[in-house]
Chain A
Amino acid sequence: MHSLEPVEIFNAKDLETDQEVRWCPGCGDYSILNSMKKILPELGRPRHEFVFVSGIGCSSRFPYYMHTYGMHSIHGRAASIATGLKTSRPELSVWMITGDGDSLSIGGNHLIHTLRRNPDINILLFNNQIYGLTKGQFSPTSEEGKITKSSPVGTVDHPFNPLALALGANATFIARTTDKDGKHQQEIYKRAYHHKGTSLVEIYQNCNVFNDGAFEIFTDKGTKQVSTLYLEHGKPMIFDNGNKGIKLDGLKPVVIDLTIHSADECLVHDETDKMKAFIINSFFDDVELPRPFGIIYINNGVSTFDDAMNAQLQHYKIEDKKAAFNELLKTKSYWEVK
């Protein structure tokens, strides 16, 4: 349900607010903000139909820097607020801004249930594998053994792969991108916007103060080629400048050398194939395999929570509510005293 009024012409500049952006210089969040500012004017909607809802954390300051509607809420609960808003106002474009602490730790419950219900909202999960705002404790995505202020001899926790968690919760859109690649981000955000259902985009975001270089291996020129796989729908899974590919050995993904093997042997990415999505998510657990970026899975065949609930309301809609209400008050077993 898009607005019928003519689309307001606005550009990235119009999205600036009068608030000074207070992320640390060099923070990956700037790139995400800029990418969002680039794509918003291209979505064909007026500015006032966008709402950004966030929780708590560095990333959750985002709404203050975007001149749309926005709410900076409480820790972990943005998904619930966004669900209430989107369900009752389905015509709005609702975006949720969150981080690995906000959505995978304190708000983990809301994240999985939101994915399960599938309201038509877009979730940008800034994953920096650290607690930044509280100055450097480990997060549920920090690698095992991580030394931080709260784990001076190393963590004993095993990290989440957020997208595997999401798929397990029956997410209908999962994708991964990185703060170092604005163009890729923009493509993914646009696809997320156009997906009807909850879109979860995990963004590898560098915290240059408390966890600098966490994703360097995936973004540094020297290592990026061999350690990342950029997924394209319908294309074979090839990386390292075409030198390597992924094939299946039974159900196990393995790397093959394309100077010996043919690209025809490679697994072909199908973003609508859930089994392949499970396999792609499993790359996370194998250091020999590249980290997948791009859209891992989309399912367009699932009803959205907001549509389904509004359809119920519409189906039972009462025209003359006051008259019906007065009748309702009486119930079947009223009596009259004369």
Chain B
Amino acid sequence: MSHSTQQLDRVVIKFAGDSGDGIQLTGSQFAETTALFGNDIATFPDFPAEIRAPIGTVPGVSGFQLHFGNTHIFTPGDEFDVLVALNAAALKTNLKSLKKNGIIIVNNDGFDSKNLRLANIPETDNPLKNGSLDSYQVFAIDITKLTKLAVAEFGLGNKEAERCKNMYVLGLVYWLYNRNPEKTIQFIRSRFAKQPAVAEANIKALQAGFNYGDTTETFAVQYSVAEAPTAPGVYRSINGNQATALGLLAASVNTGLPLFLGTYPITPASDILHELSKYKGYNVYSFQAEDEIAGVCAAIGAAYGGSIGVTTSSGPGIALKTEAIGLATMLELPLVICNIQRGGPSTGLPTKTEQADLLQAMYGRNGECPVVVIAPATHSDCYEMAYQAVKIAMEHTVPVMFLSDGFIANGAEPWHIKNIESLPPIQSRFITAAADTDYRPYERNENLSRNIAVPGVKGMEHRIGGLEKEHITGNISYDAANHEFMVKTRAKKVELVADILPLQTFEYGNASSKLLIIGWGSTYGTISSAVSELQTEGHDVAYTHLKYINPLPKNFSDLIKGFDKVMVAELNSGQLIKIIRDKFLKDAKGINKIQGQPFMVKEIKAEILNYLQ
């Protein structure tokens, strides 16, 4: 059977099924293969908080969205071109984001009376039969049955055989987009190296799905998306948590100092712990503590001893670490705190994304307790920003809060690998050898950062603590003027970090544009797409994106002051905007979303257009 091939610039696919269906694996395999082919991609895994919510139900739906194309891809896409739904609940949950006339590939076996009931759909309303999908191209295939038939020869149990259905679907989608399944075959072989029958069954299912597309007349067209033009070099796929872990590790490798991660498992930060705990050979201590507080305190203890102290968590854990972060501020020890933000307050939405911990990062401690706050803009940007977090902490003897989020952490993109040699040097403030000079623990350099004699250095014995310190000597002091001086000095020290920060620039537009939109952190891709499209459509909109929030880049005030119309887009009810209004008296307007989901490009565009008119 020959099929015609249609060329496309970009495609958004959403794989959805039950959380036990292997959707994340299916999606990430497609992403890897397509990146390897040379497309640019952005991915967005979206899974339930429950490990195994009741099978077949709406809360149990797991999804993996990916956007690939022949040009630079900024976001996982607002709407899908293709929805692959392995059961009724997956279709029900995701249909609203499918483009009109989009492709739906469904598993017929996931729409039997049991699955309909689990998805709370009356049997009389079966969407495959009631005409509600008439405006889409529906391909309803007996995926479960065909998978079982395909793998029958391997003698697997019923459940094991059925589990191969994600590979059947993947094979089919590979065929549909003209992708070579070879990489996935290799992957299956290595993953199931100890269970050859399972490996071969999965490969057979993959091939059967591929062949189904090729040999049946179900699909009239195949699609093809050409390679994206990319700079020469070595690439890999990377998600935010991997990039964060590698950036932290790079700092340790470059300084020769041990990395001490004191942490406690929490979604969506745990993968940083998983990643770093593999790297013991690099002198990485990964300490899974009894709680969040012990995690950060152990990191402080290690930093006091001359290691790079890091703690990782998400909002609820950061709340618990608050007092210890205050201690590190008072001790003026380097400490990196990674907050992989999730929906809050309280336990909130553990697996969903939000940027609602900015004010917590800025102000959420007792007393006047400034820390440096930085936020990576993309998945791969976490690498350099995590490295930068260590550099700032070490060189300025200050805690640094690194604000990633669930979207950045779990989503992936191709990354032009940056070798260790490409990173700037880090000069720690640790004194590790005896000297003839008198050691005074709170004596400072021109950045106001102090010298830290680590325990074990002869002649520099000293005591530090959480009580207010006397300037220079570090002795306990209740002196009124000294306290005011020290509060201001700690604040000034953070402000002086701006001296080493890159100056703020426009991503799009310039100082004379009609409107300025400001973003921070993980919204970079979406706002970039929105502003790029608006410019193409003839709107003069400028965009600047903040990665350094405390302190702000030195020229930030100058950069924004000429604009009459300033908008701040963020995934909260308005936090950066409070800082902008407070510091610059700008009557900025907020673009806000608090749904546990990233912005859509069209949402940003609509808000900007609305304000422009």
On A, residues with C-beta under 8 Å from B are 3, 5, 8, 17-19, 46-49, 51, 53, 56, 63-64, 66-75, 77, 79-89, 91-92, 109-110, 113, 309, 312-313, 315-318, 321-322, 324-326, 328-331, 333-338
A97 nearest CB across to chain B (Å): 12
Give every chain B residue within 8 A of A337 (Cβ-Cβ). Answer: 38, 230-233, 235
User: Are B461 and A48 closer than 8 Å at their CB atoms?
Assistant: yes
Closest to A89 in B: B305
* Any A CB within 8 A of the CB of B465: yes
Instruction: Tell whether A69 pairs with B461 under 8 Å between CB atoms, given A82-B301, A313-B281, A333-B237.
Output: yes
Candidates A64, A322, A336; contact of B463 at CB < 8 Å: A64
* Any A CB within 8 A of the CB of B324: yes
User: Are B456 and A338 closer than 8 Å at their CB atoms?
Assistant: no
Give every chain B residue within 8 A of A309 (Cβ-Cβ). Answer: 285, 287
User: Are B302 and A336 closer than 8 Å at their CB atoms?
Assistant: no
The contact sample of 29 A-B pairs, CB cut-off 8 A, is A17-B463, A48-B456, A53-B301, A63-B463, A64-B465, A70-B463, A72-B467, A77-B297, A79-B294, A80-B301, A81-B304, A83-B287, A83-B301, A84-B302, A84-B304, A85-B301, A92-B456, A109-B294, A110-B294, A113-B290, A312-B280, A313-B280, A313-B283, A325-B282, A326-B421, A329-B420, A334-B417, A336-B233, A336-B234
Closest to A83 in B: B298
A42–B411 CA distance with the chains assembled, in angstroms: 58
Closest to B33 in A: A333
A317–B230 CA distance with the chains assembled, in angstroms: 36
B160 nearest CB across to chain A (Å): 26
User: Are B294 and A72 closer than 8 Å at their CB atoms?
Assistant: no
B166 nearest CB across to chain A (Å): 19
User: Are B282 and A72 closer than 8 Å at their CB atoms?
Assistant: no
Instruction: Tell whether A333 pairs with B32 under 8 Å between CB atoms, given A77-B294, A77-B324, A84-B260.
Output: yes
Interface residues of B, dominant DSSP:
mixed
Candidates A79, A89, A91, A318; contact of B281 at CB < 8 Å: A318
User: Are B249 and A325 closer than 8 Å at their CB atoms?
Assistant: yes
Closest to B326 in A: A74
A91–B325 CA distance with the chains assembled, in angstroms: 27
B329 nearest CB across to chain A (Å): 12
Count contacts on B: residues with CB < 8 A to the other chain: 73
A310–B538 CA distance with the chains assembled, in angstroms: 61
Instruction: Tell whether A87 pairs with B281 under 8 Å between CB atoms, given A69-B455, A325-B249.
Output: no
* Any A CB within 8 A of the CB of B462: yes
Instruction: Tell whether A48 pairs with B463 under 8 Å between CB atoms, given A84-B287, A85-B455, A334-B417.
Output: no
Which 6 A-B pairs give the minimum distances between C-beta atoms? A84-B301, A72-B465, A84-B298, A80-B297, A316-B281, A81-B301
Give every chain A residue within 8 A of B307 (Cβ-Cβ). Answer: 88
Instruction: Tell whether A47 pairs with B461 under 8 Å between CB atoms, given A88-B258, A318-B281, A333-B32.
Output: yes
A67–B462 CA distance with the chains assembled, in angstroms: 7
Closest to B36 in A: A335
Instruction: Tell whether A48 pairs with B294 under 8 Å between CB atoms, given A325-B253, A334-B234, A337-B230.
Output: no
Give every chain A residue within 8 A of B533 (Cβ-Cβ). Answer: none
A3–B434 CA distance with the chains assembled, in angstroms: 14
- The 0/1 profile, CB within 8 Å of A marked 1, for residues 493-526 of chain B is 0000000000000000000000000000000000
A77–B234 CA distance with the chains assembled, in angstroms: 45
Closest to B464 in A: A71
A145–B311 CA distance with the chains assembled, in angstroms: 42
A318–B231 CA distance with the chains assembled, in angstroms: 32
User: Are A71 and B232 closer than 8 Å at their CB atoms?
Assistant: no
A90 nearest CB across to chain B (Å): 10
User: Are B236 and A329 closer than 8 Å at their CB atoms?
Assistant: yes
A313–B324 CA distance with the chains assembled, in angstroms: 27
A70–B426 CA distance with the chains assembled, in angstroms: 27
User: Are A84 and B262 closer than 8 Å at their CB atoms?
Assistant: yes
A317–B282 CA distance with the chains assembled, in angstroms: 6
A86–B281 CA distance with the chains assembled, in angstroms: 19
Among B280, B307, B476, chain A packs the most CB atoms within 10 A around the CB of: B280
Give every chain B residue within 8 A of A321 (Cβ-Cβ). Answer: 253, 282-283
Give every chain B residue within 8 A of A84 (Cβ-Cβ). Answer: 260, 262, 287, 297-305, 309
* Any A CB within 8 A of the CB of B289: yes
Candidates A66, A85, A315; contact of B304 at CB < 8 Å: A85
A310–B219 CA distance with the chains assembled, in angstroms: 59
User: Are A72 and B466 closer than 8 Å at their CB atoms?
Assistant: yes
Closest to B295 in A: A80
User: Are A326 and B420 closer than 8 Å at their CB atoms?
Assistant: yes
Given contacts A72-B463, A72-B467, A73-B297, 12 further A-B contacts (CB under 8 A): A53-B301, A68-B461, A70-B462, A70-B463, A72-B466, A81-B304, A87-B285, A315-B280, A321-B282, A329-B236, A335-B234, A337-B235
Candidates B302, B303, B324, B456; contact of A49 at CB < 8 Å: B456
Give every chain A residue within 8 A of B454 (Cβ-Cβ). Answer: 89
Give every chain A residue within 8 A of B298 (Cβ-Cβ). Answer: 80-81, 83-84, 87
User: Are B305 and A19 closer than 8 Å at their CB atoms?
Assistant: no
Instruction: Tell whether A329 pairs with B417 under 8 Å between CB atoms, given A72-B465, A77-B297, A109-B294.
Output: yes
A187 nearest CB across to chain B (Å): 26
A313–B260 CA distance with the chains assembled, in angstroms: 12
A79–B290 CA distance with the chains assembled, in angstroms: 11
Instruction: Tell whether A77 pairs with B36 under 8 Å between CB atoms, given A88-B258, A334-B417.
Output: no
Candidates A73, A83, A325, A326; contact of B327 at CB < 8 Å: A73
Give every chain B residue within 8 A of A46 (Cβ-Cβ). Answer: 458
A79–B298 CA distance with the chains assembled, in angstroms: 8
* Any A CB within 8 A of the CB of B193: no
Give every chain A residue within 8 A of B417 (Cβ-Cβ). Answer: 329-330, 334
Instruction: Tell whether A318 pairs with B282 under 8 Å between CB atoms, given A49-B456, A331-B236, A337-B231.
Output: yes
User: Are B301 and A91 closer than 8 Å at their CB atoms?
Assistant: no
Instruction: Tell whether A89 pairs with B455 under 8 Å between CB atoms, given A333-B236, A335-B234.
Output: yes
User: Are A64 and B476 closer than 8 Å at their CB atoms?
Assistant: yes
A26–B462 CA distance with the chains assembled, in angstroms: 27
Give every chain A residue within 8 A of B457 (Cβ-Cβ). Answer: 48
A59–B299 CA distance with the chains assembled, in angstroms: 24
A333–B260 CA distance with the chains assembled, in angstroms: 28
A323 nearest CB across to chain B (Å): 9
B465 nearest CB across to chain A (Å): 3
User: Are B290 and A109 closer than 8 Å at their CB atoms?
Assistant: yes
